[in-house]
Structure 1
Amino acid sequence: MSAIWGCIDLSGNNIDSNIPDKMSKCINKYRIDRTDRIFEHNVYMECGLQYITKESRLEKLPFVQDNIFFTADVILDNRNELLEEIFADGSATDGELLFKAYQKWGDQFGDHVLGLFSFAIYDKNKNEFRLYTDHLSNRCIHYYVNGSKVYFSTLTSSITDAVPDIEICEKWMYASQATDLSYCFLFDGLTPFEGVYILPYGTGIILKNQSGSISKKIVRYYDPIYSIEEMKKFDDKKCRELFRETFFNCVKDTLRTDGEYGILLSGGLDSTAVGSVAADYLEKKNKKLYSYTSVPLKDYVEKFGRTSGYKIDDESKEVLEFCKHYPNINPSFLECEGENLFTHVEELCDYLELPFKALINYVWLNDSFIKAREQGVKVVLSGSYGNDTISYGNMENTLERLITRFHFIEAYKQFEVFTRKKGIIKKRFAKRFMKELFSINKRSEIYCDERGYKKELFELHNIKSEWEKIFQGMTGSIRTRETYIRRVFSNGVLQLTGVVNTKAGLYYGIVMRDPTMDKRMLELCLALPYKCFAWDGIERRLVREYLKDYVPDEIRLNMRFRGRQSADAVLRLDRFGVKNVRSLSEMVSDKISKYYDLELVKKEMDKPNTADNIDWKAKVVSCAVFLDQYSIKKEGE
């Protein structure tokens, strides 16, 4: 993988000689193995390579061919197929194959290329610049137009260091701070920096100089939402075969590195499904799979037990049981003694280049990535997207489909089987289900911040209503097909995931791969009949039924409990506190007063830490840290 950056002056004028050093300065904090650049007249391109695969060591990026300049951040999943289609030599690098694919198919290249990528092309003959991200924006890429100059970069800091007068994008900040949820990309293309844009999934841009002004054309080369139809016939055997073939390929294709392999492992269906297939495949190659599992502090478990209601707070037992079935898994359990959600907040906001709100889980994720690097791991797997793909499916969705299609007898049969198998009180389940069914089309009311956030900001840019549109139909148990499609291909979710995975991967020297978020997996889940997901009393059937020979019964048949990471977040904050800070209000500067009532926020920050306010505190502190870092950077320039 790589970070790419550069500047093209479409007027034809030479690039200022200090631009390369300015744009390259921020790369020093990331784990880059080699950098190469092209700097010729009006063209500057640079690539910071990470050696993830054996082929990546041979990459020569950027390069120029027939006056066409090219650089890329890429790892291909269908490398062998591309070699055959393009008739390329087997020694061709991923960058070369991506370039040849674009040359051969133009904007239809997306029909032939699979993998993680972003790339930039400048055709000097046409004086035309193009920039692309992959099908799901797994690898983020940004751009900024300043006069006749076009800046592009994986990292926003490369751009803001070269153009220091770029201000904070208030529209992005207003939207991000309006809710405690981890989502922050509400408006497509916007970033925390004014005029610096990020490409949404499956998108490219074409920039040209037309009579002294820069024209921009957006190319949507991949937009599956309206093109994927659900299979009309339910053949369980064929659906099983199709799912297994697709899922196995998605997992195997991620296992491409000259280093070791790791996985973020819990006791749930998603990561164990990924882990079981990966471990089985790697065992045949006599390779290990290193796993990383979050566990709470010992005295938290002693005081509260390993379960809370239907949640498992300590999943070490389940993980150890799972590892017995796959002896080549080498597990690590991360207690993260002395750390809490604010331990790494400055570091996190710095390398992610945004006010990141989901601080709680990054305690153990940080330690996982450090441990992975120490063990020589270069590819870290996860099943983070699995709730919307391989383990999607509850009985409420199935009943909704049957009832709205007037299959009342079948709906009653499914209701009977499900409530009997799960031991659910029929009357209680039916009452809750019918209440939700009759309110499907009711406008969702997403929780927006009432603690200090300036209420007049809700109305700016229709922020509250825009958030409600995004979450329409997603707050209850029932999801219609339309709602499910919007969820699976949610640009905001894909955008944030891509930013975090790209920049964290660059920072720790790894690449994060999630087979449950593979393009092929998403497309298949939209095409499979609804009965594949929940039927005959079994929910989340894709894993529980189709992978019964891979996922152990003690995990696969657990229908009562679900794992929960970082349940001890409040205890950690109370116990370990923040270095050099007596009260949390000291972490909040007056920089946030544009978005918050500062006096009220400081009072709220010093209230006792609880499960109800810790996410809010994380959001406010990360906002303050991000703005402080931005201010210090501006003052130093």
Structure 2
Amino acid sequence: MCGIYLTNLDRSALQIKNDLKKIEFRGPDNLSVKKYNNSVYLAHLRLSIIDLDKRSNQPYEFDNLTITYNGEIYNFGTIKNELISQGYVFETESDTEVLIKAYHAWGQNMLNKLNGMFAFAIYDIVNQKVFCARDRLGQKPFYYFWGNGKVEICSSPKSMHKATKISQEGINIYLSAGYIPSSFSIFENIKKLEAGKFLVFDLNKNTLEEETYWDLKSLKRKSKITYESAKEKLDDLLEDAIKIRMVSDVPLGSFLSGGVDSSVVSLIANNHAKNKLKTFTVKFSEKELDESEEANDFAKNIDSDHKTYLCDENELINSIDDLFIAFDEPFSDSAMIPMLMLCKKVQNETTVCLSGDGGDESFLGYNHFDWVKKFNPLLKIPRKIRILITPFFKPLLSKKHFDYLKNIFFLRNINDFIINIFLNFIVINKNYDTSWAKSYYHSFYKSNHILQKTADINIKLWLEGNNNVKVDRASMYSSVEIRNPFLDYRIIEFARELPVSFRYSGKNRKIILKDILQNKLDKIKLNKPKKGFTVPISKWIKGPLKTDIEKIFIKKELQKIPNLDYKKVLCYFKQHIHGKADFSHIIWRVYVLCKWLKYNG
């Protein structure tokens, strides 16, 4: 992976270099800054993965074009052969050269040919245009400023000259969701390019165009594919998606949790590896969170070169401060802690790791699919009736559970419920405004099935805004590249067209994936409860984090946060400490914001 930068602001190469050193972990192998037309700078931080020679350093130039690019184009070999057939000659073995020449040959239409994760900017030196794009699922970050003909683009706002003032809108969104989805950011005047979109900056005309080149398609017809045909087709897609993600000139391994998704990836990758595949897992001291035993058993079954890393409580807690350096914006998914630690552990073993992230979205593996199924009938009751009967539940429930129920019953419909799964059913904003989320509602109309609607919002909102951010920032902090086969757009598209019954039936989830895995490896247990990849935040708040939180959770400090209902937060903290209710996700969310602002604000 890498870090990109482009600007026509009045800056010097030295200033740009110094700013990019703040995110040097994104590309420790090379830092270059070049100036064009005496006005436009392109810069690049390189983490060398393919063609390690300096000839592939960036910015990379061809004809009147120059590029700064972050990511991997997994099918670059196929595209390269197509370009060769058209007369193009290649000087390197890198996907960077393929990318710039693909744009030279086909312009923006080349985006439809790309299979990968990417964020890039191509500057046309003659026509004074900047063409930028981000991958279909938003795996790689892209921040930008645009105003009065001035542009600044970067992989992180930490290195942006224009990222100076904290956005109150960004804080409001974070308090609602625990992350800040595209196109918003924590900084005023800084935006994130949304997944599946491209930009064209015309520096002569001072104009900006934004267009969508990929989105989830409407599922108008029921699929007639048989289950056996679906299994065969999905198996072929998985084999290819994993195989093309194993191209690397540096050591490659695979994360293995013991769950279905990482097991499928590790098994197929091991079959394609020249030598034994290196697999890695984390062992937690808390048995209720630990899946290392399952991972070890699976590694023995596939005969991989397996390594288990012990992460004790003190080590994990001591790594928390690293979060506020690694993450460009406040981010409260506690799974970022073990992910950060795992990447730190493996950096001496491998530079590239495969992962099973993304399988839950397409194959309906999360618990919230059960929630939607259960609450859908209740939310069909007219809202006025739900509001009228809500007070009768107060004596029967704890304050926490009553607050949850009240907020759910006051929702307009099941669509609002689904959106709130990825935000929060407990409100800590003084003025609760989720108008920013309206742009995601169009995804509800792409399917008629309530669980597929949920999966679509999962992909468009949470996957891009939360999960992909966690994976990218945690891995880049240790200069490790993570590749996710389940985020191959072909798998996303194919899975959406499958009948829900092929993927979900009551308590049985990921049905078709389990069957594919069972066919490849006999005598494997696949129905153990999902533990998730997280840490005991609730316990830590009462223990080792309590003193630090108490220093922050005082009226004087919390009042500084715009639109935060600090009285409610302090009440929740008190109840949590005294064991009356578990408000750990709320407390952690506010704690992370306060700490992040201290480090970055």
Matches within 5 A, 1:183-332: 183-185=179-181, 188-209=182-203, 214-226=206-218, 232-282=223-273, 285-297=274-286, 301=287, 313-332=289-308
Higher relative contact order (CA 8 A, sep 6+): 1
Residue 374 of structure 1 pairs with residue 348 of structure 2: yes
User: 8 Å contact 2:115–2:488 — kept in the other structure?
Assistant: no
Which residue pairs with 2:396 in the alignment?
none
User: 8 Å contact 1:265–1:292 — kept in the other structure?
Assistant: yes
* Residue 90 of structure 1, CA deviation: 7.9
Residue 5 of structure 1 pairs with residue 5 of structure 2: yes
Determine which of 492, 499, 515 is the counterpart of 2:485: 515
Residue 358 of structure 1 pairs with residue 333 of structure 2: yes
CA change 1:443–1:83 in 2 (3 A) is closer
Distance 1:91 1:21 in 2: 26
Matches within 5 A, 1:46-125: 46-55=43-52, 58-87=55-84, 88-89=89-90, 91-125=92-126
Secondary structure class of the residue paired with 2:20: helix
User: 8 Å contact 1:117–1:138 — kept in the other structure?
Assistant: yes
Secondary structure class of the residue paired with 1:338: helix
* Residue 355 of structure 1, CA deviation: 1.0
User: 8 Å contact 1:322–1:552 — kept in the other structure?
Assistant: no
RMSD: 3.5
Which residue pairs with 2:472 in the alignment?
502
User: 8 Å contact 1:63–1:70 — kept in the other structure?
Assistant: yes
Which residue pairs with 1:409 in the alignment?
none
Which residue pairs with 2:511 in the alignment?
541
Q: Which amino acid aligns with 1:118?
A: A
* Residue 184 of structure 1, CA deviation: 3.0
User: 8 Å contact 1:116–1:134 — kept in the other structure?
Assistant: yes
TM-score by length of structure 2 reads 0.81
Which residue pairs with 2:458 in the alignment?
487
Distance 2:231 2:179 in 1: 34
Q: Which amino acid aligns with 1:316?
A: S
Distance 1:72 1:565 in 2: 31
Which residue pairs with 2:577 in the alignment?
608
* CA-to-aligned-CA distance 1:351-385 (integer Å, 9 cap, x gap): 211111013x233222211110122x111222121
Once the two structures are overlaid, the 10-residue window that deviates more, 261-270 or 594-603, is 594-603
Using the aligned pairs only, state the percent identity: 18
User: 8 Å contact 2:266–2:279 — kept in the other structure?
Assistant: no
User: 8 Å contact 1:200–1:491 — kept in the other structure?
Assistant: no
Secondary structure class of the residue paired with 2:8: strand
Secondary structure class of the residue paired with 1:122: strand
Which residue pairs with 2:564 in the alignment?
596
* Residue 392 of structure 1, CA deviation: 5.0
User: 8 Å contact 1:143–1:196 — kept in the other structure?
Assistant: yes
Distance 1:318 1:504 in 2: 24
Residue 344 of structure 1 pairs with residue 342 of structure 2: no
Distance 1:90 1:326 in 2: 39
Q: Give the unaligned 5+ runs of structure 2.
A: 374-411
Number of residue-to-residue matches in the alignment: 548
Distance 1:630 1:534 in 2: 43
* CA-to-aligned-CA distance 1:233-290 (integer Å, 9 cap, x gap): 22333222211110111112222223333333222211111121122222xx113322
Determine which of 18, 21, 35 is the counterpart of 2:31: 35
Residue 453 of structure 1 pairs with residue 451 of structure 2: no
User: 8 Å contact 2:2–2:71 — kept in the other structure?
Assistant: yes
Distance 2:65 2:559 in 1: 45
Q: Which amino acid aligns with 2:342?
A: S
* Residue 333 of structure 1, CA deviation: 4.1
CA change 1:176–1:472 in 2 (3 A) is farther
* Residue 442 of structure 1, CA deviation: 6.7
CA change 1:31–1:441 in 2 (3 A) is closer
Distance 1:555 1:320 in 2: 13
Q: Which amino acid aligns with 2:339?
A: L
Residue 622 of structure 1 pairs with residue 592 of structure 2: yes
CA change 1:78–1:231 in 2 (3 A) is farther
CA change 1:491–1:364 in 2 (3 A) is closer
Distance 2:591 2:481 in 1: 28
CA change 1:291–1:205 in 2 (3 A) is same
User: 8 Å contact 1:534–1:541 — kept in the other structure?
Assistant: yes
* Residue 491 of structure 1, CA deviation: 3.9
* Residue 597 of structure 1, CA deviation: 4.0
Distance 1:371 1:130 in 2: 37
CA change 1:230–1:94 in 2 (3 A) is farther
Which residue pairs with 1:167 in the alignment?
165
User: 8 Å contact 1:120–1:131 — kept in the other structure?
Assistant: yes
User: 8 Å contact 1:68–1:123 — kept in the other structure?
Assistant: yes
CA change 1:236–1:462 in 2 (3 A) is closer
CA change 1:29–1:566 in 2 (3 A) is closer
* Residue 450 of structure 1, CA deviation: 8.7
Secondary structure class of the residue paired with 1:562: coil
Once the two structures are overlaid, the 10-residue window that deviates more, 90-99 or 593-602, is 593-602
Once the two structures are overlaid, the 10-residue window that deviates more, 126-135 or 543-552, is 543-552
Which residue pairs with 1:20 in the alignment?
16
* Residue 183 of structure 1, CA deviation: 4.3
Q: Which amino acid aligns with 2:230?
A: C
* Residue 111 of structure 1, CA deviation: 1.8
Distance 2:296 2:275 in 1: 21
Matches within 5 A, 1:457-468: 457-459=431-433, 462=435, 466=438
* CA-to-aligned-CA distance 1:141-193 (integer Å, 9 cap, x gap): 1111243321111111111xx236x31121121011024xx4431xx411111
Q: Give the unaligned 5+ runs of structure 1.
A: 307-312, 401-438, 632-637
* CA-to-aligned-CA distance 1:24-64 (integer Å, 9 cap, x gap): 34234555111122123101111110012345754131133
Once the two structures are overlaid, the 10-residue window that deviates more, 506-515 or 530-539, is 530-539
Distance 2:451 2:271 in 1: 36
Which residue pairs with 2:389 in the alignment?
none
CA change 1:243–1:8 in 2 (3 A) is same
Which residue pairs with 1:532 in the alignment?
502
CA change 1:56–1:5 in 2 (3 A) is farther
